[in-house]
Every structure is written in C-alpha cells, then in structure tokens.
Copies of this chain bind each other. A is one copy, B any other.
Amino acid sequence: MHNLGAEMHHLCRELFPICRSITGNGFRESLSILGKHLPNLMTKEVPTGTKCFDWEVPKEWNITDAYIINPKGEKICDFQQLNLHVMGYSSPVDQVISLEALQQHLYSLPEQPDAVPYITSYYKERWGFCISQIERDKLVPGDYRVFIDSELKNGSLTYGELIIPGESQKEIFISSYLCHPSMANNELSGPIVATFIAKWLAGLKKRKYTYRIVIIPETIGSITYLSRNYKEMKKNIVAGFNLTCIGDERSYSYLPSRLGNTLADKSVLHVLSNLHPDFVTHSYLTRGSDERQYCSPGIDLPVCSIMRTKYGSYPEYHTSLDDLNLVTEKGLFGGYDVVQRTIKCLEHNEILRSTTLCEPQLGKRGLYPTVSTKSSGSEVRDMMNYLAYTDGKLSNLEIADKINTPLWALQETIDKLKSEGILELSEG
C-alpha cells in the first residue's frame, strides 16, 4: 500500500500547480501527465460551438498571467503564486480603477477569512479576483491596476478516454473530472485514483468486462461525452462509478444512482458495508457531480459515486485550503482500495448452481470435519450458507449479502467448490 499511496500522492503534487479549467491548455497538460501512466489514453478534442443536447461546447479559455497592483505599488492576488486568485473564465482586463469599483470584482469568504475561494463564470463573460477576507480587509482607498492576460476564443474542449478490452463487450464505466485548478481533493484525487485503477486493470492477464474510463471536465464534459456515446453506453454499461473527493482520510461515502439498487450501487454497498461499516450514504437529492448527467432521465445509466468526504461537506471544499495536506497517501490508497475491491466483486460476480440436490457430501471430498462436535457446525457455516443459496438465480454478490460475508472472504471456497464440480455456471 505504501508504494501505491506514495505514487499517487507524488502524481498529485505534480499536477497540483497547473491552472486547469473546463477547457484550455491546463487541462491538456494535466491529461498528458496522466497519459505517461496510461499509454493508451486517447485525447479527444471537441470544437467550440459543437451542439451537445441542450448545450454547446463553450469557447476555450487560456490564461498566462494576472495580478492587481495596489496603491502602494505592491503586487497582490498574483496568479503566479496561486491560480485560484483569478475567477475561472475571467475575460482579459488591464485597467486602473478605484477600490470601490474593484470591490465589485472581488470574491472572498467572511466566514473563512484565511481561505481564497474558488469561483468561476463559465457562461457569462466577466472578470474577477478571489482573495482571502484577511487580505481584502487590508485594502485601502486608492487606484488599483487590475491585469488579467487571458483569452477566450474558439478552440475546443478536451477529454481523455481509455478503453481496456475484456472478454465481454459489457462494460464497467469509470468517470472522473480534471477541470479544477489548484485543489487536491476536489479535484485531483478522482482522476489520480482513476488513473491508477486503469493501470492495474490494464496489467491484468484477463478481464471479464471491458472498461471505459474517461477523464473529462465536469458537467459540460459529461454532457459532451454522453452526446457522442450514450447509445453505446446504454447498451453496454453494467455498472459505472463517478470518482470524486476520494483522497482525504476523514470518511468513506457513497451517493447512489438515481435508479437506485443497480449493480453499481449493490457492489459499492457490499464493499463499503463490509470494509468500512461507518461509511456515509448520501441522498441522491444532494448530488452535485457528473451523476447529474449519467443518471438523468432518458440517460439512466447505472452510475453511482464513490467518495471519501463528499464535496460540499468539508470546510476546505472549493477553497485554497483543499490542498496537498488534506489529501494524503493513506487517503488516496483507501479510495483506491474501495474502487479496486468493487471491481473485483463485479469480476467475480457469477451466478452459480449446485450440481446436486440436497447438500453435497463434503466430508468425502475433505471439505467437512468428520467428527461432529458441538463446534464443528460453525466452522463450516459460511460454506454451507453460501451453498444454501446457489440455486442458479442469485449472483455471488447477492448471496454474499444474504449471508453477511464479504465476497472476497468467500472466493477461495467458491473456487474450491467449482473445481470439485459441486457448482456450475448457471445459464442465467
């Protein structure tokens, strides 16, 4: 674990300083860094103005520098120091204005005076600076030079897509988003865990399912991706996971799909309830990420979210405090572990059927104690309980839930019973 957690945190540090947005070079640069881990990751570009359902791809935004010069001639809100200082998608500006006029363009958080907030204005052209309340309170009347060297132009929206083929055309879908500037949990943790999960999957000798992994900008990215792929996705995806805020150490949490009780929901719930029984289940009514699109009426994909501490429910969320201390090696590894176990559960989720009526005679196969004592019953309890439900209708995941045992603890037994010919694959 230490290796993987450290490697993921290293990647997080590498990506952290880049100024990303829903379009532009920061997103491209970040994606190419992920690509060093995933040689088959494809970069797709969708031109500005492309219609995507009710939306269209916005202009591409790039920025090279920004700052304010205060009346004393000091540079403040320096983009080079912290890219959160500029409101995302700010239009270019180079003016000298009064403090009063400047105040209309400043954003701060009175209740978190040391935090610089993260603010964007994707769909209306304006400019602005984000500043801590402490610094804002120090501003004195006078002339301020405001400078933003940004460009909003026809360009394209960028996303990454990786298809890892499996034995079946049926797909497991993993989605995360890379459109936030220097914030670590929301959102570098998601694409980083997705990248390392993809790396593990690509290295497996065989996979039952095909894996579709996308790294996109949030909202407009999932809408764009769906508009190009939803028919195929609806046909093939059996379970999907949105990975977000998955790198801190505070909690584990889950936000269900809109349909609820899909295979995606069942598998995550199986892992979390067995591994982290104090996990938090959020209501779909509190959703705020790409499940909004994946689960929207008519799309209806079986996608739920796997998180550590959910966006909006930790104080550092969408501020400069969501940094490389909040996200840890241990936090990232814990998120990775849950996603990996969930996928393993799906890969092992066969429907098996007992090949004999009544309980099989396990003793003659060396699978059962031959002396009946007061305690021998409980020793083989799990095996017998598992067998009691192998009627060719319930999947291994459903049986594991019924008998209150994690599927990973049953797997060795299942493999043994299969090799003894006591179980066979059910036609369905």
Whether A370 sits at the interface, judged by CB under 8 Å, is yes
Give chain B residues whose Cβ lies under 8 Å from the Cβ of A359.
54, 219, 223, 292-293, 296
Whether A258 sits at the interface, judged by CB under 8 Å, is yes
**Distance between Cα atoms of A48 and B230 in the complex (Å):** 64
Are A121 and B296 in contact, with the CB atoms below 8 A?
no
Give chain B residues whose Cβ lies under 8 Å from the Cβ of A370.
121-124
**Distance between Cα atoms of A377 and B218 in the complex (Å):** 14
Residues 332-371 of A at the B interface (beta carbon under 8 Å): 353-354, 356-361, 363-364, 370-371
Residues 267-311 of A at the B interface (beta carbon under 8 Å): 284-285, 287-288, 292-293, 295-300
Whether A390 sits at the interface, judged by CB under 8 Å, is yes
Give chain B residues whose Cβ lies under 8 Å from the Cβ of A377.
288, 312
Contact partner of A53 (CB less than 8 A), chosen from B122, B226, B356, B392, is B356
Are B296 and A388 in contact, with the CB atoms below 8 A?
yes
Whether A317 sits at the interface, judged by CB under 8 Å, is yes
Given that A297-B391, A358-B299 are known contacts, is A317 also in contact with B374, CB under 8 Å in the complex? yes
Are A372 and B297 in contact, with the CB atoms below 8 A?
no
Taking the nearest CB of chain B, how far is it from the CB of A354, in angstroms? 5
Give chain B residues whose Cβ lies under 8 Å from the Cβ of A117.
373-374
Are B364 and A123 in contact, with the CB atoms below 8 A?
yes
Give chain B residues whose Cβ lies under 8 Å from the Cβ of A52.
358
Taking the nearest CB of chain B, how far is it from the CB of A25, in angstroms? 21
Most buried by B among A123, A295, A353, A404: A123
Copies of this chain present in the complex amount to: 3
Are B374 and A297 in contact, with the CB atoms below 8 A?
no
Question: Per DSSP, are chain A's interface residues mostly helix, strand or loop, or mixed?
Answer: loop
Whether A144 sits at the interface, judged by CB under 8 Å, is no
Taking the nearest CB of chain B, how far is it from the CB of A387, in angstroms? 8
Are B358 and A55 in contact, with the CB atoms below 8 A?
yes
Are B296 and A358 in contact, with the CB atoms below 8 A?
yes
Are B226 and A357 in contact, with the CB atoms below 8 A?
yes
Residues 214-248 of A at the B interface (beta carbon under 8 Å): 219, 222-223, 226-227, 230
**Interface mask (A40-53 → B, CB under 8 Å = 1, otherwise 0):** 00000000000011
Whether A262 sits at the interface, judged by CB under 8 Å, is no
Residues 65-111 of A at the B interface (beta carbon under 8 Å): 107, 109
Given that A295-B388, A358-B226, A404-B285 are known contacts, is A372 also in contact with B119, CB under 8 Å in the complex? yes
Contact partner of A357 (CB less than 8 A), chosen from B107, B285, B299, is B299
Whether A254 sits at the interface, judged by CB under 8 Å, is no
Are A54 and B356 in contact, with the CB atoms below 8 A?
yes
Q: Other CB < 8 Å A-B pairs besides A123-B361, A297-B389, 19 of them?
A: A53-B357, A54-B359, A117-B374, A121-B372, A123-B364, A219-B359, A226-B358, A230-B357, A258-B388, A258-B389, A284-B388, A285-B385, A296-B354, A296-B388, A297-B390, A298-B391, A312-B377, A317-B374, A318-B374
9 closest pairs, A vs B, by CB? A297-B391, A124-B370, A54-B356, A123-B363, A54-B360, A293-B358, A223-B358, A55-B361, A54-B361
